[in-house]
Structure 1
Amino acid sequence: MIGLLLLAAAQTAPLDWDALPPLPWRAPPLVTPEMHGFVQREVTLRKCRTDKPGELAVPVAVLVDENGAIRTTVPRAISCPSVEQYAAALAAGFARNNLLPRPGAGEQWYRATLTFTWTK
């Protein structure tokens, strides 16, 4: 029960995105053309704002436990909720069994950024 309370507290505390270390990928994630296409369709349908035409980067905070398992992912708000949630789910899947060993490391937050690109 105490572990669940600590996890809930960790999720509700504001994240210092700039202070989070990068997620220690064993192999970098491979974003497929289908994933890029989904984000393009969502950006168009939802009229999401992008800083660069044809590109959207989504920062995701990832909580990794002491055994290297993914506890949770939290997307940074970019005013495109469907893409935020999609990126958070992708980050969790990409990280599963794909992190470098962290000997002696406890539970820790990391950051990952998934970048989606497409042509107009």
Structure 2
Amino acid sequence: MIATLLALLQVVATTAQTTPPIPAPTTVPSLPSSGGPSTGVPLAPQDWSGLPVLRMRRSATTQANTSTYVHGEVLAGRCDKAVRTESGWTLTLDLAVLATPQGRLRRVTPRAIDCPTVEQYAAGVLVGTPRDSLDLGDPQGDTWYRTSMTFAWTGN
């Protein structure tokens, strides 16, 4: 019985030695975007200090409490950038905004604070701002602006 098992193992080992290795899968390089929504839209400048401030005529959102989502992300441990204040907590996020003279937002770039879900949420809140809420002045073309959003909540 043992001799049969050893003979079987020897056959399997011999077969494994003569079987050619499985070739590695080939990778296909990714291609650049072909006409997606951000094609032709410039990236935000590296230095935001010289950008004009984006002024709002009224609140950036009509949602009852935009801070609830951010508070949840902090509680879940996905963002540790909130600052303790006397009345609770705040988290401020800077954003660069490319706007057309008509008030359409072409690109919103949040400053990276190592909280990607909060960064994208803030960008989405800003994109949801009605066009007539933005005070752009009188730009001649698409213009980059800077703004900040502060989320605040009470509790521990």
TM-score of Structure 1 vs Structure 2, range by shorter chain: 0.7 to 0.9
2:106 to 68, 71, 79: 71
Residue of structure 1 equivalent to 2:121: 86
Gaps of 5+ in 1: none
Residue of structure 1 equivalent to 2:96: 61
Gaps of 5+ in 2: 1-34
Residue of structure 2 equivalent to 1:18: 49
Residue of structure 2 equivalent to 1:44: 75
* Runs of 4+ off more than 4 Å: 30-33
- Measured against aligned partners, the alpha-carbon deviations of 1:57-107 in whole angstroms (never above 9, x if no partner) come to 011111002332111101110110000000011111125331225335211
Cα separation, partners in 2 of 1:82 and 1:101, compared to 1, 3 Å:
closer
The structure in which a higher percent of residues are helix is 1
Percent of matched pairs sharing the same residue? 36
Q: Tell me which structure has the larger Cα radius of gyration.
A: 2
SS in 2 for 1:40: helix
Aligned CA RMSD, in angstroms, stands at 2.4
SS in 2 for 1:112: strand
Query: Does the Cα contact within 8 Å between 2:95 and 2:108 map onto a contact in 1?
Result: yes
Q: When the two structures are superposed, what TM-score results if normalisation uses the length of structure 1?
A: 0.79
